[in-house]
Amino acid sequence: MTIPRRLDPDTGPPRALPDFRRSAGTIERMLRALDHGPELSTQERPAVPGASGTGRGPVRVTTSRIVVRSALLRTAIAALWLWAALVPGVLGLLLLMRVPAGHAPDVAVVVVVAGLGLGTLVLLLAALRWGVLALAAVRSRLERDSEAVTVFGAFGSRRVPWRDIAGVDSRAVHPVHGVSAALVLRGGGRVVMPLFDRPVWTYAQPSRREIRELRAEIVRRAGKDGGRAWKP
């Protein structure tokens, strides 16, 4: 809807005010663009009893909607790295088999075999990394209740009370997970959240909506407890 306006005959032809409904729609589209697509889903589960018998309130569970695609892609990449590791390994073995029995290999052969062995080790580590990422894609999720945040990764989970969390680092760099998000603890440690793993080239992109909501909740709880939230 537009509203024609003319303040004075000398101000020129009539002008229309901006359509604020369209502006609001543009802002909503911008906010949706910051979320990088509907890859994550947050659902609420009923309250569960705590260790002391008291309820912890409803549990909000954030999971990935592309688990199968991510797991298959990472498994395929791990398999490619594994096959690539076989090439230098087989070449090094063939070179050693060409050395006559009872004779020491030449220095050149030793250097070449050592280089091939080092390359095999690097490729095996890359395959292992992508295998861990594939497992993390299946198991990773984030649970939040009134008492703590529970982070699930490839090999286990860690429950962190709200009072121990100082903030969230949305650009945490990890040797295995690459660029991810991490809980910053008041004691100085960090807890990486594999659910928010992303490629290295997206380092400069804004954080996801779920991370912004988690950061806002940490700030709100820190204000109630009289503490100070960590700001990246």
Q: Is residue 196 part of a domain?
A: no
Residue 209: band (very low, low, confident or very high) from pLDDT cuts 50, 70, 90? confident
Q: Is residue 86 part of a domain?
A: yes
Residue 38 near residue 48 (C-beta atoms within 8 A): no
Instruction: Give the pLDDT mean for 65-94.
Output: 91
Instruction: Give the pLDDT mean for 61-71.
Output: 88
Q: Please tell me the distance from the alpha carbon of residue 193 to that of residue 171, in angstroms, as a whole number.
A: 11
- Tell me how far apart the 2 most distant CA atoms of the chain are, in Å: 108
C-alpha closest to that of 218 among 200, 204, 206, 230: 230
Parent domain of 130 = 68-136
Number of domains in the chain: 1
Q: Starting at the earlier edge strand, list the strands of the sheet with 40-45.
A: 40-45, 59-64, 141-144, 148-152, 157-161
Q: Is residue 129 part of a domain?
A: yes
List Cβ neighbours of 115 (8 Å cut-off, separation of 6 or more): none
pLDDT in tens, 94-152: 888 887 777 777 788 888 889 999 999 999 999 999 999 999 999 999 999 888 899 99
Q: Is residue 5 part of a domain?
A: no
Q: Is residue 63 part of a domain?
A: no
Handedness of CA 19, 23, 24, 28 (dihedral sign): positive
| pTM of the model as a whole | 0.70
Residue 132 near residue 176 (C-beta atoms within 8 A): yes
